[in-house]
Structure 1
Amino acid sequence: MTIETTTPGFRTTLAALRLREWPIGPGQATRVLAQFDAEDYHFVVDDRADVHVSSKDGRLYLGYFPEGRPGTDGEGWKIAVTGTADVPGWAASFEPETPAELIAAFVAAVISTSRPAAPYRTTAATMTR
């Protein structure tokens, strides 16, 4: 059995590969955290230097765990919105190495789609919205 060594194998050019640079590495957490202001959100930095942010109504939570969240398998970011009596909430988790610019875009989308709740009105019979 002979092997033909003069026949070229797979060949391409760098232009044909359309090489791109993709966001990798954790980046700067301040890109995410700077979207929250003290007027609308509570901030806590714990003894591990993990950062916890919650909305004043307590329904939005963001946790940043640079060394990984204790008790999890590599959770670096946790974002959760508490549901209502009628609609369940949701949560999303990301690894510590997820680029902060991607987390910032996700958080910006969550914040931009929130809106003030209608005020409660008390009537003689019930409390309505």
Structure 2
Amino acid sequence: MTLSVTAPSHVPATPRHPALGDREWLLDCHCAGPAIDLLKGQGWDVIPDLSANVHCSSPDQRVYVGFLPETEEAARGELWHIQVKGTDGRVAWSQTFGSSVPAQAVAGFLAALIAFPSRCCACV
């Protein structure tokens, strides 16, 4: 085996995607609107309660999304709760997001979840 020395790679002076340098990243949308609107548009049940919490269920009732600003969990930093149940009805996995996570980011997470309806990954 022969090893050869190569020239160091050249790092361009300007970013390859200059638009990213001017981008304003998601920082401060703390309403539920973007995520709730996405779920409503997908035919999910959306039920607000008297305490300003919002509970959402997928059409098959196997995914729950809760925007829970008026709960003890929110006081501990868990504003969004997402649970996915298996066909046996038991919780297969769950995810929480805190109040510092913009609602658009939660909506992106939910959009990805909705976009992949199969339970299996292609690598399995």
Give the TM-score normalised by structure 2.
0.64
Aligned residue pairs, count: 97
Partner of 2:39: helix, strand, or coil?
coil
Q: How many percent identity over aligned positions? A: 33
In structure 2, the CA distance between the partners of 1:83 and 1:99, relative to structure 1 (3 Å rule), is: same
In structure 2, the CA distance between the partners of 1:103 and 1:39, relative to structure 1 (3 Å rule), is: closer
Q: Does 1:97 align with 2:80?
A: no
Give the C-alpha shift of residue 105 in structure 1: 0.5
Asked if structure 2 preserves the Cα contact closer than 8 Å seen for 1:27 and 1:101, the reply is: no
Q: Which runs of 4+ in 1 moved over 6 A?
A: none
| Aligned counterparts of 1:38 and 1:24: Cα–Cα separation in 2 | 24
| Aligned counterparts of 1:28 and 1:90: Cα–Cα separation in 2 | 25
More contact order relative to length (CA 8 Å, sep ≥ 6):
2
Max Rg structure: 1
| Aligned counterparts of 2:60 and 2:98: Cα–Cα separation in 1 | 27
Give the TM-score normalised by structure 1.
0.61
| Aligned counterparts of 1:27 and 1:70: Cα–Cα separation in 2 | 18
Q: In the alignment, residue 35 of structure 2 is paired with which amino acid?
A: V
Deviations, residues 23-73 of structure 1 (Å, cap 9, x unaligned): 222344211111123773212111111000001321010000234x32461
Asked if structure 2 preserves the Cα contact closer than 8 Å seen for 1:62 and 1:78, the reply is: yes
5+ unaligned residues in a row in structure 2: which ranges?
A: 1-13, 15-20, 119-124
5+ unaligned residues in a row in structure 1: which ranges?
A: 1-14, 116-129
| Aligned counterparts of 1:97 and 1:47: Cα–Cα separation in 2 | 24
Deviations, residues 106-127 of structure 1 (Å, cap 9, x unaligned): 0100111126xxxxxxxxxxxx
Q: Does 1:46 align with 2:46?
A: no
Give the C-alpha shift of residue 80 in structure 1: 1.1
